[in-house]
Amino acid sequence: MKFGTKAIHAGVEPDPSTGAIMTPIYQTSTYVQKSPGDHLGYEYSRTHNPTRTALQNSLAALENGKHGICFSSGLGAIDAVIKLFNPGDEIISTNDLYGGTYRLFTKVFEKYGIKFHFVPMADPKSVEEKINENTRMIWAETPTNPMINIVDLKAISAVSKKHNLIFGVDNTFASPYLQNPLDLGADLVMHSVTKYLGGHSDVVMGALIVNDDELAKQLVFIQNACGATPGPQDCFLVLRGIKTLHLRMERHSQNGKTIAAYLKNHPKVANVYWPGFEDHPNHEVAKRQMRDYGGMISFTLIGNKMEDAVKVMESFKLFALAESLGGVESLCGHPATMTHASIPKEEREKVGLVDSLIRLSVGIEDAEDLKNDLANALSKI
């Protein structure tokens, strides 16, 4: 099946008891057994739930994987991945990544003896230089949050395979519509399902998709043993959101192109970060491994004053100032004080995350209205 058909049909079947075309919300905590151990595949809803099973199958199909495993948040999914490792193990991560991931790595798991290295992963050589006998995993985001850097997944996959490492990719900014890391050599794909997969800013969830049976078995064990699982209502909402993923991503990408071009030509804008520009450092990689360039854009202001950034964001009428991204509505955020505030200022500025940086999640509204909203907000400084 092509992607749009998979989004609507893959992993889901009409309800066998009624013929309902939509997967029911199995709002139950437990399941009746005929005899101890004699059941219909479901015992307790932390372990398995039919609504969650349908969603996990759908997500696996979208990423061309075998196993989908859902969690109560994206960080819950990443937490499960790091629990695969032991004290003394080391993980190499990109130096530009979601602040919540950085916080989880450095404030939680470093206390338990796992060491993390943060490197500019756009250059695969920087990864190989950090590998030693304790290295167990490479963790990448692409596009990265919030600097929209692009990581060459095939190149990093070659490094990981050479050294027998797990290669995990946070694919949240791209969604399965724009990019499929498993096809490019990754062992594991993570999504904050909250974002483009849900698509309507009404659910919080995370997911992992893998091909390897043993890796899936370990992660399913952690999912059940640690209990960070989503409820059936949330799974239903994501199943509904997925059915329009391809249509939404087409519009997000179209609008993203329009808004990125507008910002690049604006006299009050210093830098615009969007992988569709030919002068983006890894544009050719993005062109090769992504179907389109998406609706995530970051930009800085001339003069780099935080008060100017705050004034712009306070002046928006359509771009809502809010955490998160990937919804049908356009959002703006200030990474330095919001999503990435947990990263020390000196570390943020090393990757270009300065005080005037504004991150946009371009929605699916009319692009002309979004341009007018930007024009009005930027006129206030």
Q: List the CATH number of the domain containing 257.
A: 3.90.1150.10
Write out the DSSP string of 90-119. EEEEESS--HHHHHIIIIIGGGGT-EEEEE
Q: Are residues 33 and 109 in the same domain?
A: yes
Q: Which domain holds residue 154?
A: 3-240
Distances (CA, A) of 32 to 29, 232, 280, 353: 11, 18, 57, 54
Q: Are residues 184 and 101 in the same domain?
A: yes
Q: Are residues 212 and 269 in the same domain?
A: no
Residues 109-138 as b/e (b if ≥16 CB within 10 A, e otherwise) read beeeebbbbbbebbebeebbeebeeebbbb
Q: Which of 240, 271, 286 finishes a domain?
A: 240
Write out the DSSP string of 229-291. ---HHHHHHHHHHHTTHHHHHHHHHHHHHHHHHHHHT-TTEEEEE-TTSTTSTTHHHHHHH-S
Q: Are residues 293 and 261 in the same domain?
A: yes
**Domain tally for the chain?**
2
What tens digit of pLDDT does each residue of 171-204 get? 999 999 999 999 999 999 999 999 999 999 999 9
Distance CA 261, CA 256 (A): 8
Cβ atoms within 10 A of the Cβ of 86, count?
11
Mean pLDDT of 113-122: 96
Distance CA 100, CA 73 (A): 11
Residue 287 class from Cβ within 10 Å (0-12 exposed, 13-18 middle, 19+ buried)? middle
Q: Are residues 208 and 259 in the same domain?
A: no
Q: Are residues 206 and 332 in the same domain?
A: no
Cβ atoms within 10 A of the Cβ of 367, count?
18
Q: Are residues 273 and 230 in the same domain?
A: no
Q: Is the separation of the CB atoms in 237 and 203 below 8 Å?
A: yes
Answer whether residue 126 shows pLDDT above 90: yes
For CA atoms 103, 109, 113, 116, the dihedral sign is negative
Q: For residue 183, give the DSSP letter.
A: G
Distance CA 11, CA 43 (A): 21
Tokens representing 307 are: 């008060």
Answer whether residue 68 shows pLDDT above 90: yes
Q: Residue 367 has what pLDDT? A: 98
Indicate the pTM of the whole model: 0.96
Instruction: Report the greatest alpha carbon distance in the chain.
Output: 73
Q: Are residues 236 and 249 in the same domain?
A: no
Which residues sit opposite 297 in a β-bridge? Answer: 360
Mean pLDDT of 20-26: 96
Q: Are residues 236 and 253 in the same domain?
A: no
Q: Which of 9-13, 16-20, 331-335, 343-347 has the highest mean pLDDT?
A: 331-335
Q: Residue 102 has what pLDDT? A: 96
Answer whether residue 19 shows pLDDT above 90: yes
Using alpha carbons, select from 296, 302, 304 the residue that is nearest to residue 353. Answer: 304
What tens digit of pLDDT does each residue of 315-367 get? 999 999 999 999 999 999 999 999 898 888 998 998 999 999 999 999 999 99
Q: In whole numbers, what is the pLDDT of the chain averaged over residues?
A: 97
Q: Are residues 128 and 230 in the same domain?
A: yes
Distances (CA, A) of 281 to 180, 203, 253: 21, 34, 19
User: Which CATH number belongs to the domain containing residue 167 in this structure?
Assistant: 3.40.640.10
Q: Are residues 236 and 250 in the same domain?
A: no
What tens digit of pLDDT does each residue of 272-327 get? 999 999 999 999 999 999 999 999 999 999 999 999 999 999 999 999 999 999 99
What tens digit of pLDDT does each residue of 203-250 get? 999 999 999 999 999 999 999 999 999 999 999 999 999 999 999 999
Distance CA 269, CA 371 (A): 14
Q: Residue 373 has what pLDDT? A: 98
Q: Which residues are catalytic?
A: 46, 98, 170, 195
Q: Residue 318 has what pLDDT? A: 98
Q: Residue 339 has what pLDDT? A: 87
Q: Residue 342 has what pLDDT? A: 86
Q: Are residues 224 and 283 in the same domain?
A: no
Q: Which of 207, 240, 273 finishes a domain?
A: 240
Q: Which of 185, 211, 240 finishes a domain?
A: 240
